């Protein structure tokens, strides 16, 4: 039986996503070595072979985006040769190399797929199941999927699913959320698809709140508000939201403090309420916020010029003696800072080139205002998400939502079209 190349490419995407989602869990529960580490390198090598064998032409914007991503990750790979790497550093670099590989495979799949929108929806559904189901099981049963210290254990009220910490979980859910709106709720599709989209979107919201990531929660609430406002009753929603906000503002501060403190006792609710309490009433005592300020302020005031960078998780030479803790020597809690410090100016400029290409494509495309706005929201959420976890080098899958919106917008146009007959990138038939 002859297997189509398209089937192989789709299998590779799902297999690699599954490996990233389940690798830490299998290592912890079964005791096998991390499957995602060797599979990442095999994935990259396989995609390089596919690129050599393929003769598919790129639309210029897609080709330039791929070139930018390849340069960003390819330049980072120079540290395989010039830097002495620990096993974790080797994994970081390998994971980072899969970013352009994912883009290229998704480009091949979406550009040739007979039902592009359905492929994307199926991938989103599987992705969201990996994100939402394990934390729900943790919450209901107390069963822990991934090892952690006592601070991040289920017994301490921490919900993290297949991830090592809740910030990674919340960031991944947040990055997927606008893509769900884009492909399920903002198209002229069936009622079933619309309901499915809202179920996924609200489930992701629950996971984000459960992760107790305050930045992710604020971004999600803003995204939900904008999604509702972009419906036909936008003005009414805006007015009612303003009235609710005024009502909340009128509540005495002491009442809110007492309510949050009353949630102490239940580990899960205490984790959320304590972080919210610090955020609202005692931000100066929040070590997470103050430490990030230390990192950002020092980098802003003392930006170095780096051609190749220090290598992954090797920032002690730069931050040494200037931070109150050594955590920033490994993870600066900002993807932009980490990208520059680790891999230098070339990788940073390549990433900026990808961002500009994405923005230019979405702003010049023949999209409706809703489609344009939420396509750009996917990128904005990703950029904000880069500041939430300690590092996103080990989270290559959070790039996928932006890739889906960008590639689909590019390849949903007919190959031949004129200025007078241009069709919207997201013009869909009712399923």
On whether residue 256 sits in a domain, the answer given is no
DSSP H or E stretch at residue 161 = none
Q: How many domains in the chain?
A: 1
The answer to whether 305 and 345 have CB atoms below 8 angstroms apart is: yes
Mean pLDDT by 10 residues, the chain (431 residues): 80 95 88 88 94 75 90 94 87 94 94 89 96 91 77 70 90 95 81 90 93 88 84 60 61 63 65 66 66 88 92 88 80 92 95 95 81 91 91 91 92 44 39 33
CA gap 308, 303 in Å, rounded: 15
On whether residue 270 sits in a domain, the answer given is no
Closest C-alpha to 157, from 305, 272, 253:
272
End-to-end CA distance of the chain: 31
Own/partner pairs, 21-25, CB within 8 angstroms, 24+ separation: 21/130, 21/162, 21/397, 22/130, 22/162, 24/145, 24/146, 24/162, 24/163, 24/164, 25/134, 25/145, 25/146, 25/162
The pLDDT of residue 321 is 79
The pLDDT of residue 415 is 36
On whether residue 353 sits in a domain, the answer given is yes
On whether residue 265 sits in a domain, the answer given is no
On whether residue 170 sits in a domain, the answer given is yes
On whether residue 167 sits in a domain, the answer given is yes
The pLDDT of residue 283 is 60
User: Taking the C-alpha atoms of 375, 244, 238 and 189 in order, what is their torsion angle to the nearest 10 degrees?
Assistant: 50
The pLDDT of residue 376 is 93
Task: Provide the b/e sequence for 355-367 (b: ≥16 CB within 10 Å).
Answer: bebbeebbeebbb
Other Cβ atoms closer than 10 A to 230 = 16
Give the range of the structural domain holding residue 177, as residue numbers without chain letter: 5-250+286-414
The answer to whether 159 and 138 have CB atoms below 8 angstroms apart is: yes
The pLDDT of residue 132 is 94
On whether residue 190 sits in a domain, the answer given is yes
On whether residue 148 sits in a domain, the answer given is yes
Q: In sequence order, which ranges of 211-286 are alpha helices (DSSP H)?
A: 214-229, 234-250, 253-262, 267-281
275: CB partners within 8 A, 6+ apart = 212, 214
Nearest 5°: the CA angle 183, 19, 164 is: 90
The pLDDT of residue 152 is 65
């Amino acid at each position: 039986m002859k297997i189509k190349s398209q089937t192989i490419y789709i299998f590779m995407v799902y297999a690699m996503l599954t490996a990233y989602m389940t690798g830490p869990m299998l290592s912890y529960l079964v005791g096998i070595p991390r499957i995602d580490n060797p599979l990442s390198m095999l994935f990259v090598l396989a995609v390089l072979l596919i690129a050599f064998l393929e003769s598919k032409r790129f639309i210029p914007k897609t080709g330039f985006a791929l070139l930018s991503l390849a340069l960003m990750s390819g330049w980072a790979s120079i540290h395989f040769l010039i830097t002495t790497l620990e096993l974790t550093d080797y994994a970081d670099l390998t994971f980072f190399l899969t970013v352009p590989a994912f883009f290229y495979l998704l480009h091949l799949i979406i550009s040739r797929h007979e039902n592009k929108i359905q492929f994307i929806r199926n991938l989103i559904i599987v992705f969201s199941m990996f994100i939402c189901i394990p934390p729900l099981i943790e919450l209901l049963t107390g069963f822990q999927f991934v090892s952690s210290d006592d601070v991040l254990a289920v017994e301490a009220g921490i919900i993290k699913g297949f991830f090592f910490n809740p910030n990674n979980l919340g960031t991944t859910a947040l990055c997927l959320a606008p893509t769900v709106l884009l492909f399920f709720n903002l198209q002229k599709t069936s009622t079933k698809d619309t309901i499915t989209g809202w179920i996924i979107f609200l489930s992701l919201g629950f996971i984000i709140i459960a992760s107790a990531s305050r930045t992710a929660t604020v971004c999600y609430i803003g995204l939900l508000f904008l999604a509702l406002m972009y419906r036909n009753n936008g003005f009414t929603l805006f007015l009612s939201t303003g009235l609710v906000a005024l009502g909340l503002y009128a509540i005495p501060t002491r009442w809110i403090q007492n309510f949050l403190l009353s949630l102490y006792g239940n580990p899960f609710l205490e984790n959320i309420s304590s972080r919210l309490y610090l955020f609202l009433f005692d931000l100066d005592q929040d070590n997470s916020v103050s430490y990030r300020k230390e990192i950002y302020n020092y980098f802003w005031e003392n930006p170095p010029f780096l051609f190749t960078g220090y290598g992954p998780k090797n920032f002690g030479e730069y931050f040494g003696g200037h931070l109150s803790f050594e955590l920033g020597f490994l993870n600066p809690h900002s993807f932009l800072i980490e990208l520059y410090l680790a891999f230098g100016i070339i990788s940073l400029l390549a990433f900026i080139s990808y961002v500009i290409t994405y923005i230019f494509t979405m702003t010049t495309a023949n999209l409706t205002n809703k489609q344009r706005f939420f396509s750009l929201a996917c990128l904005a959420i990703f950029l904000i998400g880069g500041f939430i976890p300690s590092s996103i080098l080990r989270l290559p899958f959070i790039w996928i939502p932006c890739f889906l919106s960008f590639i689909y917008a590019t390849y949903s146009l007919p190959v031949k079209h004129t200025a007078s007959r241009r069709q919207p990138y997201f013009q869909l038939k009712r399923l």
